[in-house]
Amino acid sequence: MLRFLLIVLLTSAADYRGEIEKWRAAAEASLRSENGWLALAGLEWLQEGENRISMPEGAPDFGIFQLKGGKVTLLPPNAAPIEMTSDRSGKPTVIARDGYSVSIIERGKRIGVRIRNENSPALRQFGGMKWFPIAEKFRIEARWEAYREPKTIRIPNVLGDVGEEKSTGRAWFRIGDTTCSLEPVDQGGSLFFIFRDQTSGKETYGGGRFLYADPPKDGTVILDFNRAVNPPCAFTSFATCPLPPPQNRIEARIEAGEMAPPHH
């Protein structure tokens, strides 16, 4: 019986490790894709009226971006105007030419043009994501404290803005002798945690990390820090990442998940 239990435990551990390794490979493939963060090549904020933006060397001329009353119209050279929807719609308009593409993003009151280059130097030179060794102890069953009503929490970002998001509760857990808690943003089908810990700015990215979790079940939420990842700002200066709110700064070391990229 003891031998059988040992085999079961070893098989379970191997299955878990394989699952995390597969997930990490998919995360890196997404980062390396033509729509990944490494392909970002520019970001320019628009002013009311007509805007001619600075494109990377070798990029085609997409034309003039006209901002009027919160709406953007692209005026291409020698072609009909194109009304562009932003990422706020969930389905932004993407115009692609010669390996480059442009789309519109909205961040607070800002409206900007995001530029991608499927052959960007950052993409070509990327040496791969760095990870802590997989450790099952960092797959934590946290106690879920549900709020009676959704709570509005303030989330800062790298632009200096502070947004307001909804949170439906808080996850409580322990790291060693330290009692910790994290307050997520509720994203409907998942919980989105933005956090810092005592590895931030050392082994891990100084701007914190992201962790997604399934909704709580029976008063428990699974926090698998082996799946914690860097925000896009760890890889590009053209992203607009949220930052950890004060209540999500953990006074313990979470030696799990993604480590800082080599250039940080």
Give counts: helices (H), strands (E), the chain: 2, 15
Shared domain check, 132 and 181: yes
The pLDDT, as a whole number, for residue 189 is 83
The reply to whether 6 falls in a domain is: no
At residue 78, the pLDDT reads 85
Residues 6+ apart with CB under 8 A from 13: 136
Query: Is 224 contained in some domain?
Result: yes
Q: Do 199 and 214 fall into the same domain?
A: yes
Are 100 and 150 part of one and the same domain? no
Q: What is the predicted pLDDT for the residue at 1?
A: 52
Q: Is residue 111 domain-shared with residue 52, that is, in the same domain?
A: yes
Residue 262: inside a domain, yes or no? no
Question: H helices of the chain, where?
Answer: 2-32, 121-125
Higher-pLDDT residue of 67, 2: 67
Q: What is the pLDDT of residue 152?
A: 97
Shared domain for 210 and 141, answered yes or no, is yes
Per DSSP, what are the bridge partners of residue 45? 112
Last residue within a domain, chosen from 75, 101, 124: 124
Q: Are residues 59 and 161 in the same domain?
A: no
Closest to 144 in 3D by CA, of 95, 93, 216: 216
Whether 241 is covered by a domain: the verdict is yes
Residue 260 · residue 230 · CB < 8 Å: yes
Q: Are residues 160 and 221 in the same domain?
A: yes
User: Does 97 reside within a domain?
Assistant: yes
> pLDDT tens digits for 244-260?
999 999 999 999 999 99
6: amino acid identity, one letter? L
What is the predicted pLDDT for the residue at 6? 38
pLDDT digits (tens, 9 = 90+) for 142-179: 999 999 999 999 999 999 999 999 999 999 999 999 99
Structural domain includes residue 206: yes
Same structural domain, 82 and 186: no
Residues 210 and 228 in one domain: yes
Whether 111 and 166 share a structural domain? no
* Shared-domain flag, residues 94 and 176: no
Interval 173-219: pLDDT, tens = 999 999 999 999 998 889 999 999 999 999 999 999 999 999 999 99
The answer as to whether 254 is a domain residue is no
Q: Is the pTM of this model over 0.95?
A: no
Domain boundaries, position 103: 39-124
pLDDT of residue 180: 97
> What does the alpha-carbon distance between residue 251 and residue 17 come to, in Å, rounded to a whole number?
27
pLDDT-derived band at 264 (thresholds 50, 70, 90) equals low
CA separation for the pair 90, 85 (Å, rounded): 9
The answer to whether residue 138 sits within a structural domain is yes
What is the count of structural domains for the chain?
A: 2
pLDDT tens digits, one per residue of 41-76: 999 999 999 999 999 989 999 999 999 999 999 999
